[in-house]
Amino acid sequence: MQQQIVLNDGSSFPALGFGTCAIGAWQQDDDYVVDTILKAIKAGYRHIDTASLYGNERSVGKAIKASGIPRQEFFVVSKVWDSEQGYEETLKAFDASLKRLDMDYIDLYLVHWPNPNKTQATWQAMESLHAQGKVRYLGLSNFRQSDIEQLMSFAEVKPIYNQLELHPYLTQQALCAVCDKYEIYVSCWSPLGSGTWSGVPTNEKPIADPIIVNIAEKYGISAGQVILKWDLQQGRIAIPKAESDKNIKANLELNSFELSADEITTINQLNRNHRYGGNPDTAYKSNMKMRVPE
């Protein structure tokens, strides 16, 4: 049984999701992407994470349909991109995502990156979608403490989760504490320290860190499994991307071991405040130049 995140309304979803950013290549949306997502579904994933910017919402929808598994058994996440923010813009962006996914609703809709000047209008549009039953839950991505506090000052529908770059070299413990204060679950993107798309050599990633490798050898598992378990044992959500059958399956196989409290502390101490992805303090200008495919 996969570990579940239980929400205040009693519903739940898997703590381990399947990340779809740059399957194959950036904004690839074809049979290879569909087949990869379908492999993940067949392996047991039911929490699928996408975004308008990823350019592969159609593939996500096609894979879920092709699986033959009822839609309600999935927890589907998508996101409104920076250039789509604002009240009317968000409503339009959501409708486009829903059409590409070929679904009646999205389980969780996120603000992809904070834009404080538009947060209130964007969130109010999302609250409208929630009231109409088009979105079950609302959430955040890359929101800093100041962004969360701004949003909580006016939000009528509270966010259930904040998706952050979080891995052993960027533990974000202070921000996690803020999320805990507001009862917002923390979800980790690039939980293993960035994928092959980043161009970062494997030996510079947490999966190659000697401390993590030693723990993996102790339990007879992979370094990636150690990191994912480190997240889940601390009540976080993790959404690794994988394309090979081996890694797709391995990321789900986390029930055979438990990390000790000392091991979790040791991994926490690997923090370097090192980002592989964008920084919410500076990402806005470059993000606005990135286009959401039709």
Domains, the chain: 4-200+234-256+272-287 (3.20.20.100)
| Active-site residue, 54 included | yes
Order the strands of the 18-19 sheet from edge to edge.
18-19, 47-49, 75-80, 106-111, 135-141, 161-165, 185-189, 237-238
Q: Where are the beta strands (DSSP E) in 192-262?
A: 237-238
Burial class of residue 131 (count of CB atoms within 10 Å of its CB; 0-12, 13-18, 19+): exposed
Q: State yes or no: pLDDT of 225 exceeds 70.
A: yes
Per-residue pLDDT tens digits for 149-169: 999 999 999 999 999 999 999
Q: Tell me the pLDDT tens digit for each residue of 123-133.
A: 999 999 999 99
Q: How many residues does the chain have?
A: 294
pLDDT of res. 99: 98
Query: How far is 94 from 78, CA to CA, in rounded Å?
Result: 9
- What pLDDT does residue 16 have? 97
Check residue 83 and give its pLDDT.
94
One-letter identity of residue 102: D
- pLDDT-derived band at 240 (thresholds 50, 70, 90) equals very high
Is residue 170 over pLDDT 90?
Answer: yes
Q: What is the pLDDT of residues 241-250, one digit of tens each?
A: 999 999 999 9
Residue 224 has pLDDT above 90, yes or no: yes
The whole-number pLDDT of residue 197 equals 54
- The arithmetic mean of pLDDT across residues 125-145, rounded, is 98
**pTM for this model (two decimals):** 0.95
Mean pLDDT of the region 8-12: 94
Q: In the prediction, which pLDDT does 198 show? A: 61
Residue 185 has pLDDT above 70, yes or no: yes
CB 68 within 8 A of CB 101: no
Catalytic residue among 32, 45, 54, 109: 54
pLDDT at 195 (0 to 100): 57
* Low-confidence winner among 51-55, 192-196, 269-273 (lowest mean pLDDT): 192-196
Specify the pLDDT at position 199: 72
Q: Which residue has the tokens 């399957």?
A: 23
